[in-house]
Amino acid sequence: MSEANPEAGSKAWLALAHEAPIDPDRPIIDPHHHLWPSTAFRPRYLLADLWDDTQSGHNIEKTVFVETRASYRDSGPEAMRPVGETEFVARIARASREGGGGAVISAIVSYVDLRAPKDELESVLNAHEEAGSGLFRGIRQAGAFEANADFLIIRPRAPAGLYADDAFRSGLAMLGELGLSYDTWHYHHQNPAFAELARAVPGTTMVLDHFGTPLGVGPYSTQREVIFEQWKRDIAEIAKLPNVVAKIGGLAMPDNGFGWDKREVPASSDELIKEQARYYHHAIECFGPLRCMFESNFPVDRRSLPYSVYWNAMKKIAKRYAADEQHAMFYGTAQRVYRL
């Protein structure tokens, strides 16, 4: 198996796939990006880096930050340490509002272990609310689990059976009672378990990230068509549940197996469409545009293609839909779900 290109994601590498922006005035909310300081495992991605991407030719007005388990407090009660990430992002969001000229970070999705005792969970959620300075909108506690995950570049952290855990479901119900949303990330073989979870907790708005992540590496590398057919059935079942909305994007992670992170040049918008448009159109058909939102998943997907190229691809995909449907997927759904 070929190795990842060490230059993948760098500015020089991304510049090899420059495309003129399509429909540059269309207002967009990017409802899924991350921020983190430089670490031994990943390069820095902060406001200047986000703005380099969001100012690359498309009209990105607002963004939603989604937790990455970074910048936690290094002291104090263990349950409260994730509040450090909310504090970290709230400071950057303030700078995005005051700096002028760039996309404004307008909402924060934080982390808490929803299995915590009720009093503790309530305290952590209140702390996120205070730390978020009006931007805290919900929680992501990813459910991604793979029994033998050595072949994955992005390692899952969830325990087996999280979605069926009674304590987890109780915490998830509390989110709905408080008017907070729940984002999740898991793998294609967990989609039925997620559907059961959404049925069990109908009062909480749930956001399915990254199409339920169809894997395409390791033991799944030769199963794309089999996985796709099962994925289609699973997505149709999930879409029957009115409390679920779908983020459609995040398919350019290395673990999706398209191999663009191994190439000398990034993927183009037409290449993305050739390989992935069928996932987008099926999800849109099942959920409807009013329950779908395009998402960049940057900088994770930056290892496959430039930000500007991603949005060109989405505009090409969206072309077949009515004007109001396009607006929903680029702006309106995210505005409604995250109360922007």
Reported as a single tens digit per residue, the pLDDT across 291-315 is 999 999 999 999 999 999 999 999 9
What are the two backbone dihedrals, phi and then psi, of residue 68, each rounded to the nearest 5 degrees?
-135, 10
User: With 50 as the cut, is the pLDDT of residue 162 above it?
Assistant: yes
DSSP H helical ranges for the chain = 11-14, 47-54, 83-99, 118-131, 166-177, 191-200, 224-239, 269-287, 307-318, 323-327, 333-337
pLDDT in tens, 229-241: 999 999 999 999 9
Report the alpha-carbon distance of residue 239 to residue 20 in Å, rounded: 35
Q: Quick: pLDDT tens for 18-61.
A: 999 999 999 999 999 999 998 756 789 999 999 999 999 999 99
Decide if 29 contacts 334 (C-beta within 8 A).
Answer: yes
| pLDDT surpassing 50 at residue 166 | yes
Identity at 16, one-letter amino acid code: L
Which DSSP category does 165 fall into? -
Q: Which residues contact 150 (CB under 8 A, 6 or more apart)?
A: none
Share the mean pLDDT of the chain.
Answer: 96
Nearest Cα residue to 315 out of 305, 327, 304:
327
Amino acid at 54: T
At 200, the pLDDT band (50, 70, 90 cuts) reads: very high
Size (the chain), residues:
340
Total-model pTM: 0.96
**Which two three-digit tokens encode residue 144?**
């991604």
What is the sign of the dihedral through the CA atoms of 214, 216, 219 and 224? positive
Residue % of the chain over a pLDDT of 90:
95
Find the mean pLDDT for residues 210-221: 97
Q: Which of 19, 27, 61, 55 is nearest to 309 (CA)?
A: 19
User: How much is the pLDDT for 38?
Assistant: 81
- C-alpha span between 262 and 304 (Å, rounded): 8
Distance of alpha carbon 171 from alpha carbon 173, whole angstroms: 5
Q: What integer pLDDT is reported at residue 3 of this predicted model? A: 82
Instruction: Please write the tens of the pLDDT for every residue from 242-276.
Output: 999 999 999 999 999 999 999 999 999 999 999 99
Predicted confidence (pLDDT) per residue in 119-158, tens digit: 999 999 999 999 999 999 999 999 999 999 999 999 899 9
The lowest-confidence range among 1-10, 187-196, 265-274 is: 1-10
**Measured distance CA(240)–CA(229) in Å, rounded:** 18
Domains of the chain in sequence order:
25-337 (3.20.20.140)
Summarised one tens digit per residue, pLDDT across range 57-79 is: 999 999 999 999 999 999 999 99
Q: Is 90 exceeded by the pLDDT of residue 2? A: no
Task: Give me the pLDDT at residue 1, please.
Answer: 47
